[in-house]
Structure 1
Amino acid sequence: MAPRLLVYSRTTGYRHDSIPYAAAALREIMGEWTVDHTEDPAALESPLERYAAIVFLSTSGEVLTPKGRELLAAHMESGGAFVGVHAASTTEYDWPYYGELVGARFDRHPEFQPGKAVVEDADHPATRHLPGVWDFTDEWYDFRTNPRGSVRVLLTADESSYEGGGMGEDHPLAWTRTQGEGRVFYTALGHADEAYDDPAFQQHLRGGIMWAAQGD
């Protein structure tokens, strides 16, 4: 039986126009996997073990019910897989566990513009295909705190390559971490439709999802 992926994209704050395009792209990116895309919080109110991984795709604001929070936390502590894409870090600000799960909370971003992402860890499935310096166009999220020390940093932003960066020389963009017995992958990239047409970004997402679901 093909692995099953839950893509959740509910928003109660800012809504990215790219969500429908990105959700459709994930079906293509994951190939043989069965992909369920929903914005219904009831989807997270039943046992989540049937999913090989859960993707929060540019979610924003408070998107889970109390039961959904309880089940997601239990799922991760017992070995689940969670992937956060782009605005997933702008989600569930009122739930401390979620901030820990993702690794850092969004603070601000400069204008959408070209810049350079630097591969810090080339041994991970989400980054091993990338050049050492990756030219990309995105919003280059700043975070309220630097997650380094509690995460495995995969990509950093070269703030000298774009205007308006606010974190300085050490600016993580993508990382992994463990939560209980579960695995978490987060990437701050993925603002626009065009990102999901980029083969390098597609492999970045697939590698992160596969790692979260199956390990290295």
Structure 2
Amino acid sequence: MKYILALLLFLCLTATAAAPADDPARMLVFTKTGGFRHDSIPVAVDILRMLGAGLGWQVDHGEDSTAFSPRNLARYRVVVFANTTGDVLDETQQAALREYIERGGGYVGIHSAADTEYDWPWYESLVGAWFRSHPPGLQKTRLSFAQDGIATHGREWQVTDELYNYRSNPRPRVRVVATIDERGYTGGTMGADHPIAWCHASGKGRAWYTGLGHRAEIYADETFRRHLLRGLRHAAGSSTDC
């Protein structure tokens, strides 16, 4: 009998030890929309799958808000709001997301993630700033990254996309990682300091947001992909750079 008990204990211990290797990091890509729906969503999902696979992550995509439960969110290292819009979570699901982040989870918001959950003040603090408006059409301007290693040459990038104005400048509350030059296009309302991407801590978790990602074509740009990858790694806690 004692040999059977010893064998069972050994099997339990080895199974526990082996579990992490068999349980890759996971990312949830959430694309539910309660308002405008971007045509670029399928492309965004494909690129996020590709970037996640490169990191060795398992990537799940969905639009079912019931995924936002404490038990299910505990499976994920990062949750991505990719071009979500409007009211996408009920109060119970909001509480689950907040608990997940404050206990150490990672959040990435892409473009209209800032056009989401306007009736939930905590979400504004998570995304960093809410969308106010955007100039008509797609416009090209100079974007400046705060760090090297993203743009092909130096820190400057000529980008064409839908360029958001925000309800407030998030700089006092976040670490800005990219700004755009309003002198290069028409319709900017934020002045000389116009953040377009940033990161910050939220509880024990990490949040990263980029205002880019409206155009499907931008996801094919290697600079944008490097930008997203840095955001994913930061949200996952794999890198202090964002």
What TM-score do you get using the length of structure 2 for normalisation?
Answer: 0.85
Equivalent AA in structure 2 for residue 176 of structure 1:
C
Unaligned runs of 5+ in 1: none
Q: Which has the higher helix share?
A: 2
**Residues 145-164 of structure 1 mapped to structure 2, 5 A cutoff:** 145-164=168-187
The one-letter code sitting in structure 2 at the alignment partner of 1:27 is R
Alignment partners' CA distance in 2, 1:103 and 1:129: 22
Give the alignment of 1:44-193 within 5 angstroms.
Answer: 44-47=68-71, 48-110=73-135, 111-119=137-145, 121-122=146-147, 128-130=149-151, 131-193=154-216
Shift of 1:133: 1.4
Does structure 1 residue 23 correspond to structure 2 residue 28? no
**Aligned-partner Cα distance in 1 for 2:161–2:150:** 19
1:42 maps to 66
Q: Deviations over 1:158-205 (max 9, x none)?
A: 011112111110100000011111100000001111111111111111
Distance in 2 between residues matched to 1:28 and 1:148, nearest whole Å: 31
The alignment covers a number of residue pairs equal to 211
CA–CA separation in structure 1 for the residues paired with 2:24 and 2:224? 23
Larger Rg: 2
Cα distance between partner residues in 1 of 2:172 and 2:160? 27
Letter in 1 for 2:222: P
Query: Unaligned stretches of 5+ in structure 2?
Result: 1-22
1:189 and 1:59 map into 2 onto residues whose CA distance is 13
Percent identity between matched residues is 45
Deviations 1:76-129 (A, max 9, x none): 11111000000000000000110011110000011211111111x20xxxx632
2:200 and 2:207 in contact (8 A); partners too: yes
3-state SS of 1:195 partner: helix
Distance 1:30 1:162 in 2: 33
Distance 2:188 2:95 in 1: 36
Root-mean-square deviation over aligned CA pairs: 1.1
Question: What's the secondary structure of 1:134's corresponding residue?
Answer: strand
TM-score, reference length from structure 1 = 0.94
* Number of the residue aligned with 1:33: 57
